[in-house]
Amino acid sequence: MIEMKNAYCGLALALAATPAVAADMSEPRPVVVESGWKYQVTLDGWLAGLNGDIGVRGLPAASVDVSPLDVLEELDGVFAGSFQAVGDSWLLYTDVMWAKISTDADVGPFGGTVDFEQTQIVATALVGYELPVNVENMQLYATGGLRYQHNKVELDIDPVFFPAVSRSGSQSWVDPIVGLTMHYDINDKWFVDVMADVGGFGVASDITLQGTATVGYNWTDTIASSFGYKALYTDYKEDGFPL
């Protein structure tokens, strides 16, 4: 079992667009009628930590502990982004994250090394419906959807007094998820977004949990930036691949 904590500490550039149509009402200037739907594309800066135990194909579970500062040195590549559409009491949301990290460590009282490499893909798709909370400047949505996860892990263990062992494994699976999404406008410039979900229920993962909290600032009507934290926990085991 491994706990993955993805901390989004970089700049998230959100580009929001509200479609509009112009109607000629025989006035000097056209009247703009909004459709009611708003769209947001977000590209996330990424900083993550990884800790837990992982085992691959018969090898004993190895402890992995990579701090966010270590990730800056061990990160081989990353992409994270999301798309959101809100309108008519509905919310549509999807995000994707791809990351590859590698690290090594000295183990055992007599020396030896462990090399660890992980490639991770997480993609989420949600549909939400607004709940009647009657709180000014706040929208709360009940959500349901799916989360796809792919993990590829490679472990190379080289103890001092025993032959070196190398193992690799990969798994992909899809979990149903349910949750809540909240957007709150503190004022016309500052806002808070919170998302939380739970899923798995034994369909693929025993359980998967994800939570996100960000504080954002509207620079213009179409550009905002936000700073926050995302944590993902997954308990999954299949065919000798515990995660």
Q: Does 56 fall in a domain?
A: yes
Q: Percentage of the chain with pLDDT > 90?
A: 34
Higher local confidence (pLDDT), 125 or 46:
125
25, part of any domain: no
The encoded tokens of residue 161 equal 């007094």
Q: For 7-24, what is the mean pLDDT?
A: 39
Measure the CA–CA gap between 86 and 128, rounded to whole angstroms: 9
Any domain includes 243: no
Can you give the pLDDT at residue 240? 54
107 neighbors 58 (Cβ within 8 angstroms)? no
Mean pLDDT of the chain: 77
In-domain check, residue 152: yes
Domain housing 159: 2-18+34-237
Classify residue 89: in a domain, yes or no.
yes
242 occurs within a structural domain: no
Sequence-ordered list of residues with C-beta below 8 angstroms from that of 70, at least 6 positions apart, any chain: 49, 103
The whole-model pTM stands at: 0.75
Question: pLDDT over 70 for what percent of the chain?
Answer: 66
Q: Which residue has the higher pLDDT, 171 or 61?
A: 171
Helix (H, G, I), strand (E, B) or coil at 71: helix
pLDDT score of 49: 60
Domain assignment present for 163: yes
* Domain assignment present for 29: no
Q: What's the helix, strand, coil split of the chain in %, to 5?
A: 5, 70, 25
Residue 75, classified by CB atoms within 10 Å of its CB into exposed (0-12), middle (13-18) or buried (19+), is middle
* Average pLDDT for 189-194: 94
Q: What is the C-alpha to C-alpha distance for residues 40 and 18, in angstroms, rounded to an integer?
A: 9
The total number of structural domains in the chain stands at 1
CB-CB contact of 140 with 132 (8 Å)? no
Range name among 4-13, 103-112, 169-178 with the lowest pLDDT average = 4-13
Residues 64-102 have pLDDT tens digits of 666 666 666 667 888 888 899 999 999 999 999 998 888
The more confidently predicted of residues 48 and 231 is 231
Given a cut of 90, whether residue 2 has pLDDT beyond it is: no
Q: Which of 108-122, 145-159, 191-205 has the lowest mean pLDDT?
A: 108-122
Q: Is the pLDDT of residue 42 over 80?
A: yes
Query: What mean pLDDT do residues 193-205 have?
Result: 94
CB atoms inside a 10 Å sphere around CB 134: 6
CATH number, domain with residue 45: 2.40.128
Residue 233's closest CA among 190, 178, 193, 196? Answer: 196
pLDDT at 14: 41
